[in-house]
Structure 1
Amino acid sequence: MSRIGVITNPTAGSGRGARWGSEALTALSAHGHQIRDLSRGSWAASYEAAMEHRRGLDALVVVGGDGMVHLGIQVCGGRTLPLGIVAAGSGNDAAQSLGLPIHDIEASVRRIDEGLSGHIARIDLGVITGATVDHPSKPRYFIAVLSAGIDAAIAAYGSNLTYPRGPLKYKVATLRELPRFKPYGVRIKVDGTEWTQRCTLIAVANGTVFGGGLKVSPDSVLNDGKLELVIAEPLSRRSILKLFPKLYDGSHLADERIRVIPASTIEITPLGDAEGGDGAALPPAFADGEQVGRAPMTVTVAPRALRVLGATLAK
């Protein structure tokens, strides 16, 4: 019998999360596991509960979308405690990247069982540090993509939308955010090489996708010990509108104004008008769809820092 902590999100999946959470708890119990429900009604409270009880667990399971996975990796990242994922949210980029079932409770529980029997994938995590990184978790881990430019501004707008949900929310947020866009002023330092520029999109990729299937860095691999900086030069609003549909198939990388730079350590420092620089101030950064704080921040990679039950990485 395995001792499993479970965190559910009642608001996941357009409000269907409460039912999915209940079904997941029932299924895990039916498979013979000893369950401790660590859901506490808020992200921070559930995190604290999981941290308090983690030493008495054989695994932590999160039920919901990418936001719940992001919570889970704060608890399990850099530790031997494995993470199980029941993907039941509006956005399930992490589960898709890990080859896990989506919106299938029973199949997800079977994968968790397989993981507890030894089928575990060890993957890298991005690590965010800086004085303004949001609590409660420092450092802040991420599994997929850190967004720090217009991609973050769109994520911020989308996080306040109650309708529509899922990938369509990102498209609506793009149309709403574009009219106020001005290129950002930044200082970037990648593995010791430093420069300043004005830019549009800034993303640090550990995985391939974000925002409901946007392939910002199609060649990123979750277990290669590297990150990729994706940065776009200043673009007009019309060019941005044309760019975002290309993110769904990765064809945006054919644009010579977009660079992908492999890296181990990336420092992002704002040089907007407020800092006496050239360009707009950076928006708050988002990772895995969750706000993580404001630059300046440093992003590094933690190789093989997360154990995921039943995951299968694409070759």
Structure 2
Amino acid sequence: MRTIGIITNPTSGSGRGARRGAEAKATLAAGGHHLIDLSRGSWAASYEAAVAHRPSLDALVVVGGDGMAHLGIQVCAETALPLGIVAAGSGDDIASSLGLPRHDIPAAVARIEAGLRGDTVRVDLGRVTGGAVEEPASPRYFGAVLSAGLDAAVASYARAITFPRGPLKYKVATMREVPRFRPYGVRLTADGRERTMRCTLVAVANGPVFGGGLVVSPDSRMTDGRLELVTADGMSRRDILGLFPKLKDGGHTADPRVRIEQVESVTIVPEASEGAPLPPAFADGELVGATPLTVTVAPGALTVLGGRAQ
């Protein structure tokens, strides 16, 4: 018998979160495991409960979307505690990048069971430090993508709305944020190389997708020991409206104003002389904090139950 901590989000999805959480707990319990429910009604309280119980757990399981996976990552990063993900959210970019089932609780639990028998994958994480990183998890880790430009402004608005769901809500958020846009000023130091620029997008990718399946960095892999810095030069609102739809299949990478470079470390600093202030950064759809921030790769920092190296 294994002792498994489980965190669900019963308030999400107009009751769907509670139903999915209950199904996941029943399915895991049917496997003979001892479950400890660590759901506490808030991100911070659930995180603190999971950290307090961490020494007694054989695994942690989270049920929900990228926000719940992001929470689980904070608890398990750079420890021996493996993470199981029952993906049941509107985006599920982390689960998608790990080849995990989505919206199929029996299949997701079967992967977790296989992981408990040894079928696991070690994946990299992004590790974020800075004076304004949101507590209680500092440093902050992420699995998919950190956004710090217009992509962060879009993520912030998308996080605040409940309808529509999935990629469509990012389209709605984009249409809301683009009319407000002015190019941002930023100073980037990537693996010791510094440059300043007026930018539209600034993202650091550990996995290929964000925003419910938007392919921001097609060649990113969670097992290569590297991150990708994705930037786009300052653009007009008209050009942005032409660029953003190309994120659906990674077609934006053909635009000469878009640059993707492999890095191990990048520092993002607002540069007022170049343009507008940067919005607060988001990662895996969750607020991380205001810049300046430094992002470094944490190779092999997370063990995922039943995951696949993509």
- TM-score over 0.5 for the pair: yes
Q: Please show how residues 236-255 of structure 1 align to structure 2 within 5 Å.
A: 236-255=236-255
Q: Which residue of 2 aligns with 1:155?
A: 155
> Is the 8 Å Cα contact of residues 122 and 306 (structure 1) preserved in structure 2?
yes
Unaligned stretches of 5+ residues in structure 1? none
> Is the 8 Å Cα contact of residues 281 and 288 (structure 2) preserved in structure 1?
yes
Q: Please show how residues 47-86 of structure 1 align to structure 2 within 5 Å.
A: 47-86=47-86
> Is the 8 Å Cα contact of residues 196 and 274 (structure 2) preserved in structure 1?
no
Secondary structure, aligned partner of 2:210: coil
Q: Which residue of 2 aligns with 1:209?
A: 209
Secondary structure, aligned partner of 2:267: strand
Residue type at the aligned position of 1:48: E
Query: For residues 286 and 270 of structure 2, what CA distance do their matches in structure 1 show?
Result: 20
Q: Which residue of 1 aligns with 2:308?
A: 312
Structure-2-length-normalised TM-score: 0.99
Q: Please show how residues 141-152 of structure 1 align to structure 2 within 5 Å.
A: 141-152=141-152
> Is the 8 Å Cα contact of residues 228 and 260 (structure 2) preserved in structure 1?
yes
CA RMSD of aligned residues (A): 0.8
> Is the 8 Å Cα contact of residues 269 and 291 (structure 2) preserved in structure 1?
yes
Which digits, 9 at most, give the CA deviation of each residue in 1:70-109, with x for residues without a partner? 0000000000000000001111111111111111111111
Matched, 1:32 2:32: yes
> Is the 8 Å Cα contact of residues 215 and 249 (structure 1) preserved in structure 2?
yes
Q: Which residue of 2 aligns with 1:283?
A: 279
> Is the 8 Å Cα contact of residues 184 and 198 (structure 2) preserved in structure 1?
yes
Q: Please show how residues 256-295 of structure 1 align to structure 2 within 5 Å.
A: 256-272=256-272, 277-295=273-291
Query: For residues 149 and 130 of structure 2, what CA distance do their matches in structure 1 show?
Result: 17
Q: Cα distance, 1:161 vs. partner? A: 1.1
Query: For residues 173 and 123 of structure 1, what CA distance do their matches in structure 2 show?
Result: 30
Query: For residues 111 and 141 of structure 2, what CA distance do their matches in structure 1 show?
Result: 24
Query: For residues 118 and 220 of structure 2, what CA distance do their matches in structure 1 show?
Result: 26
Query: For residues 15 and 281 of structure 1, what CA distance do their matches in structure 2 show?
Result: 38
Residue type at the aligned position of 1:115: G
Q: Please show how residues 179-194 of structure 1 align to structure 2 within 5 Å.
A: 179-194=179-194
> Is the 8 Å Cα contact of residues 12 and 88 (structure 1) preserved in structure 2?
no
> Is the 8 Å Cα contact of residues 123 and 304 (structure 1) preserved in structure 2?
yes
Query: For residues 307 and 13 of structure 1, what CA distance do their matches in structure 2 show?
Result: 28
Q: Which residue of 2 aligns with 1:134?
A: 134
Secondary structure, aligned partner of 2:4: strand
> Is the 8 Å Cα contact of residues 128 and 295 (structure 2) preserved in structure 1?
yes
Q: Which residue of 1 aligns with 2:172?
A: 172
Q: Which residue of 2 aligns with 1:222?
A: 222
> Is the 8 Å Cα contact of residues 12 and 65 (structure 1) preserved in structure 2?
no
Residue type at the aligned position of 1:111: R
Residue type at the aligned position of 2:152: A
The alignment-based identity, stated in percent, is 66
Unaligned stretches of 5+ residues in structure 2? none
Secondary structure, aligned partner of 1:207: coil
Q: Please show how residues 190-201 of structure 1 align to structure 2 within 5 Å.
A: 190-201=190-201
Query: For residues 248 and 135 of structure 2, what CA distance do their matches in structure 1 show?
Result: 32
Residue type at the aligned position of 2:297: V
Secondary structure, aligned partner of 2:163: coil
Residue type at the aligned position of 2:229: L
Query: For residues 11 and 99 of structure 2, what CA distance do their matches in structure 1 show?
Result: 24
> Is the 8 Å Cα contact of residues 150 and 201 (structure 1) preserved in structure 2?
yes
> Is the 8 Å Cα contact of residues 14 and 90 (structure 1) preserved in structure 2?
no
Structure-1-length-normalised TM-score: 0.97
Range with greater deviation from structure 2 (303-312 or 159-168): 159-168
Residue type at the aligned position of 1:165: R
Query: For residues 227 and 267 of structure 1, what CA distance do their matches in structure 2 show?
Result: 13
Query: For residues 13 and 311 of structure 1, what CA distance do their matches in structure 2 show?
Result: 25
Q: Cα distance, 1:14 vs. partner? A: 5.2
Q: Which residue of 1 aligns with 2:43?
A: 43
Q: Cα distance, 1:160 vs. partner? A: 1.4
Secondary structure, aligned partner of 1:40: coil
Query: For residues 60 and 103 of structure 1, what CA distance do their matches in structure 2 show?
Result: 19
Residue type at the aligned position of 1:268: I
Secondary structure, aligned partner of 2:95: helix
Query: For residues 123 and 135 of structure 1, what CA distance do their matches in structure 2 show?
Result: 24
Secondary structure, aligned partner of 1:16: helix
Which digits, 9 at most, give the CA deviation of each residue in 1:206-230, with x for residues without a partner? 0000000011000001010000100
Q: Cα distance, 1:166 vs. partner? A: 1.8
